[in-house]
Structure 1
């Protein structure tokens, strides 16, 4: 008898991914990607309209995938805080400002007629990096359209039932009145400063403030007008050790390093796994520069060598939420079966 298959989905601010998760091998097949039908495609649209667009898109694509996969369940990793019963609290990178809580799990179950699990995308991704019992506590941080985080400790992701916890991207690290805007509408949030979108905006501001320095940089050669600068060019410049681009990145990493040291000093987690499109595109240089900023700040009680072992890069792909959602759903199914047998 073949192992059952699950359909998994990962809905982010930029891309919606679906795949088939094989519960026997843990492998993904039939991976499909499409642009998320949210604020990135419809800037300025009201929140209720964006919610309807995104839910309709997700329901349509997962219904098609469930049919192809012969699935017995669906797991969705969603880019925003999610309650224990599968309600989306808010989604800054998907539909911007906070709207009414969205009962996503119930809507999908009504449409698909099978069990659905909805969790935060980072909550799902954590399970990709859980290797077994006795796991060392760790904090998973994503740096992509926004910034998110989740802490895994003692066999669980640290969250309250309303989905609070692990939202470092919305920590106010710059309280000044003219601090950069976050997608959620707040100012000075870490995600609005040190995410891929935040750093692109910072590079454009730096170009306007220092046009001569920008013109001499890799960025100025690739994008002579600052408004033409995109993240692909910024990443290439950072990887090439361009001083102008690297200074922009360091400005954001100073705030991210402060967040890392706060997590360490508050709960003692000393392993940080980095993922997300922007961080992984920059690669080892991102982890190295972040580590340098953490060293500069210091971690109370740790030696320099211990600090240098804190930050590691995750797997170099964008399957974290898909794999993690599949593993989480498999673990929950196994737990339910064990209870039934008992």
Structure 2
């Protein structure tokens, strides 16, 4: 992007497009760090062999000094002023003149206009290798002074390498106060009578071929802001979800401790929880067996109205009943059938007085 310093002075044929449609191209022979000859087109044929440099008129470009984030790519330069640009970034040709203190010094031109000038130069037989804005031709001023280049079409002033002013006649003769107060070195003519060392001035053209459209940015400024907002919202939601998950995990841990008791390790907690789950499952099976036995006895009592239940006991693994009645005593096969249907086992019929029955059913282990 920046022109390397050369050990020897360079030599160019500077060409500037006409100010009006009826005008002619102007040229200047630059050699040994000074202007050797100038005029309107065509130049002497010998000068056509020199590398050409396209001079961008001061009124056809804009100069910016803008803060720029580190790592900003070339194709992202137009994004720095897209907020107030009145045309697509692809229509602009942006060149960086300098970068320092977190700021970019940019020159902005109309891409189509520059391409047209380059095409006209090619038609004139010129090989354009460099390009400069008119204000880049002015030499650097002394500290606290201004270099002013006066022409009929425009006044060009430079107070610093980054401080330019282009003042067309339509604005009048009176300059802004900040510029009027500075002593000025005035240069006149179609070309500055004293030139900058062009070997050290960065070119505003990327290469000698017609400029290719800059790669469009992947996202506009509004899209980047929306994406940033979405990222912030996602981060907030993730933090909230993480906090809720941590609180829920602590609640689960408290529930496990309440059920299994304190544990010194994850293995102990897992074993205790498995034991509690097994006990709960075993108790559920026993409840199902008890319900089945109760239903069977209810059906039997309906068929044996002379018998009634006096007492029922449950010690966890055994279900005991005490019956009283005057009817015939049932056969053991009836109790065994009831137990088998409920998944239990009838143990025995305890010895009892006449008119009483004492039955014991073993609920057994969990299947």
If the TM-score is normalised by the length of the shorter chain, which range does it land in? 0.3 to 0.5
Give the TM-score of the pair, scaled to structure 1: 0.34
Kindly name which structure, 1 or 2, has the bigger radius of gyration based on alpha carbons.
2
> Which is bigger in relative contact order (C-alpha 8 A, separation at least 6)?
1
Which has the larger helix fraction?
1
Give the TM-score of the pair, scaled to structure 2: 0.32
